[in-house]
Amino acid sequence: MSRSRPRRTASLGDRVALEIQELHRRGKLRDTQPLLRIDQRKEAAAAPYQFDAVRGRLHRNGCRAIPAASKSALYGVWEFRPGEQHLACPRCKPVPTRRTKATRALNAPASDLVYGVLSILDQFGGVLRERGREYRRSQNGEQLRSGVRDLYDIFGTGERDVLHVIAAALDALSGVVNDLQRSVASTIGLGGNGQPGTNGHRPRHHEVRRSRNGTDEP
C-alpha cells in the first residue's frame, strides 16, 4: 500500500476532515469525549426488546427463548408498533409500546452528536459561503450565535469539553481553508467585483447533500 500526503486536488471537505484527524494524531485536540460515537452496543444490549433478525422474532430483553445461534444478530428495540404484534415471542409476550421522550432521545443523544467531524464539514461549507463576518452581522448569523450561546449554557462539562475540541479544530483548520482559497484564487483569478469568478454558477462546496430532517426523505 503506497503512502503519501493528501493531494492538492482533494476536495475541501476531504482536506478538512483529514486535517482534523491529523490534528488528533499529533495530540493537538483534547478528546475526553468522542468526536462521533456510532457504537451503541451498551444501549442496544439494555433495550427493553431484542429483535432476532434471523428468525424474525421480537423478545423481551433477557427472554430465554432467544436461540443461541441468533445472539449475534440481535437488534435492540425501544418501541414496536401494534401492527408488529405478530412478531412477538409467544413465550415472553412483549406488548406494543408508545413512543416516549426516552425512546425519542435515543435517536440522537447529545453526547454522540458532538457536532462530529461530519457536521463540521457540513457546516463549514455554509460558513465559508456566507463569508464569516458578513454572515455574523446578518439576522441569520445573530440567530445562530444566540442559539449556540443558549445551547452552550445548558451543556454540562462533558459537552463543553467537546465544543472546545471542535473550536480548537476549527481554529486550526481555518489556516487550511485560507490556504486553499488562496490557491483557488490564484488558479482561477478574481471576477470584476472582487469575487472569485464562478462563470454564473454558485460555487459548490459539497457535492453531498443530506436530508435535513435526519429521518429519511430527500
Partner 1 sequence: MERVDRLIQRYRPDVRATLEPLIVSCYPALRQNRRNEYRKMIELSTKMTVVGHAATTVLGHPYDRRRRRIAALFGCCCFLADSFIDDFGDEAAHEYLDRFELLLTRGWFHPRTDRERLFYAIVTRLFLERHVLQPTLRQAMLLLYEAQRRDVEMRSTLPSRASRRRQLHDLKMCARDRSGHAILVLSSFLVPDIPLAHRTPIFAAGSLIMHIDDHGDAFADLRDRRVTYMNQMRNPARTLRHIFEKELSRLVGGLPSNAGRELFVAFLTRYFVTRLHKHRQQRKLEGGAWAVYE
* Contact set with partner 1 (CB under 8 A): 1-4, 6-7, 9-11, 13-14, 17-18, 21-22, 24-25, 31, 34-41, 44, 51, 53-56, 58, 69, 72-73, 75-78, 80, 84, 86-87, 106-109, 112-114, 116-118, 121-122, 206, 208-211, 214-218
Query: Closest approach of Cβ 13 to partner 1, in Å?
Result: 7
184: nearest Cα among 169, 203, 164: 203
* Min CB(125)–partner 1 separation in Å: 11
Nearer CB in complex with partner 1: 11/174: 11
CB 74, min distance to partner 1, A: 8
CA distance 187 to 9: 12
Distance from C-alpha of 113 to C-alpha of 159, rounded to nearest angstrom: 10
Residue 35 CB, shortest distance to partner 1, in Å, is 3
Alpha-carbon distance of 210 to 217, in angstroms, equals: 9
DSSP state of 197: P
187: left (phi over 0), alpha (psi -120 to 50) or beta: alpha
Of 62 and 218, nearer to partner 1 (C-beta) is: 218
The answer to whether 74 and 85 have CB atoms below 8 angstroms apart is no
- 163 phi and psi angles, rounded to 5 deg: -60, -35
CB of residue 62 to partner 1, shortest distance in Å: 18
Residue with C-alpha cell 490556504?
179
When the beta carbons of 108 and 154 are compared against partner 1, the nearer one is 108
Other beta carbons within 10 Å of 17: 19
CA distances from 49 to 32, 62, 66 (A): 31, 9, 11
* Alpha-carbon span 41 to 70, nearest angstrom: 16
